[in-house]
Chains A and B, each alone.
Chain A
Amino acid sequence: MKCAGPIDVRDVDESCINIDPIQVGGRLTPEAMKAVIAYGDGYSVCDNCRKPFRLDYIKAPPVDAFHRDLAAFLHMDVARVVPGARRGFQAVADTYVQKGDPVLITALSHYTEVLAVEGCGGTLREVPKSREDLITPDAAAETIERVSKEFGRPPSLFFLDHVDYQFGNVHPVKEIIRVAHQHDIPVLLNGAYTVGIMEVDGKDLGADFVVGSGHKSMAAPAPSGVLATTTERAGDLFRTTQARTDLTGRTFGVKEVEMMGCTLMGVTLIGMMASFPRVLERVKHWDSEVEKSRRVVDSIRSIEGTRILSEEPRNHTLTRVDTIHSFDKVAQTHKKRGFFLSSALRARGIAGTIPGATKVWKFNTYGMTEKQADYVARAFREIAAENGLRVGNQLKTSDL
């Protein structure tokens, strides 16, 4: 079935249980789906934009209140919506990083943090990860000292991922931020995998900047996100334009330089806003999401030869597994080769794995119903057994 011309209807979430590592937290709520129907046209939130013209001043729909609510949600002072977390990284890097400045990221940082630093000419230095694939306060302290000595000054910014995209591990960010602040280094907390699915208290964590992704974890259309900061930092980060054009002498008043004026002016913003009440509620039920994640992980772990590469017990719904000695062994002789696994999952109505991946891969259980979690857990064991892999007694997370 087609939507229009050559564009297929996308019904993956209606016909399957989607376990795609990056998609599940961004699926729209019913409220967002409805708002998107009404606000699909271009500048749809701008019907009532009045002087001084700026997105966060619009009262109908209540975009102004939404900005205040976003800041309160993150326990920060000021927030702006941005076209994806990456644009939040870019705004902060552009404000605080001068050419040649050392900037800290970690061995598990997302590539967009690297690009944000590269874009403004900063010099990247990575905090190494531990054997357990965690970033530790000690590693941060050692790296800060080493880099400060190398450059003769401390790094001008530290990008720290609350939960990393590779393993879905939860890092001790509060302690790491404390270490960074001892050296007067501002910290940007990348909450792409936390803001909107878990409670994030930026003030308690001590973050100078909190960035979230609308399309990754806030049930919003792409590209959308949030950038929040403290009153102390807001003046620099959200500075307004001072430019005057030379021929016409035009000035642009309240437009914020790093936001390029207005940011999300239609369906992205309205989707974020419509989902927000449900997002506020759903973060309180993170424990039940983790429980379902552990249930599926328990099942996969019970398949002989399979290793869970993410930290255990799982504290997140995104998990990385190594099936080199289980599903990949099957792939060596299966007529569908490496495609047998995604194909067997798809035949059971489970989508979102990379076709052909049987070695190291990731999945995300966020947003499943109880029934769906049980179904997925059972499906992996069934596929393993059908392909001659031994499926042991289900070792539970609580037994670890």
Chain B
Amino acid sequence: MTKRAIDAVFESMFILTDLRVLLRETAPLHELDPGQKGSAQSLLAELQGKVDLLKEELLS
């Protein structure tokens, strides 16, 4: 396990936490306004990057 992988695990959980907060802020209907959709999109893209990095670090 490299430091990069360890960091990526925590960073992924932190990104998921930001998504969790978004769910809290928009409960109960979860109708995201354009700004919130933009945030969700960048968070998901960032998360995807971390998952890719983890695949590279752990599986290659």
Contact = CB atoms under 8 A, between A and B. Distances in A.
Nearest to B23: A14
A16 B24 CA distance: 8
State the majority secondary structure of interface residues on B.
helix
A30 B17 CA distance: 7
Nearest to B15: A34
A337 interface: no
Best-buried of A14, A15, A33, A38 by chain B (most CB within 10 Å):
A14
B13 A13 contact: no
A372 B27 contact: yes
Interface in B1-30: 10, 13-14, 17-18, 20-21, 23-25, 27-29
State the majority secondary structure of interface residues on A.
helix
Contacts of A33: 17, 20-21
Contact of B29 (A14, A27, A37, A349): A349
Chain A contact residues (Cβ within 8 angstroms of B): what range?
Answer: 10 to 19
A14 B14 contact: no
Contacts of B20: 14, 33
A393 to B, nearest CB: 27
Nearest to A372: B27
Contact of A16 (B10, B18, B25, B28): B28
A350 interface: yes
Contacts of A14: 20, 23-24, 27
Interface in B28-43: 28-29
Interface of A: 13-17, 27, 30, 33-34, 37-38, 348-350, 369, 372, 375
Interface of B: 10, 13-14, 17-18, 20-21, 23-25, 27-29
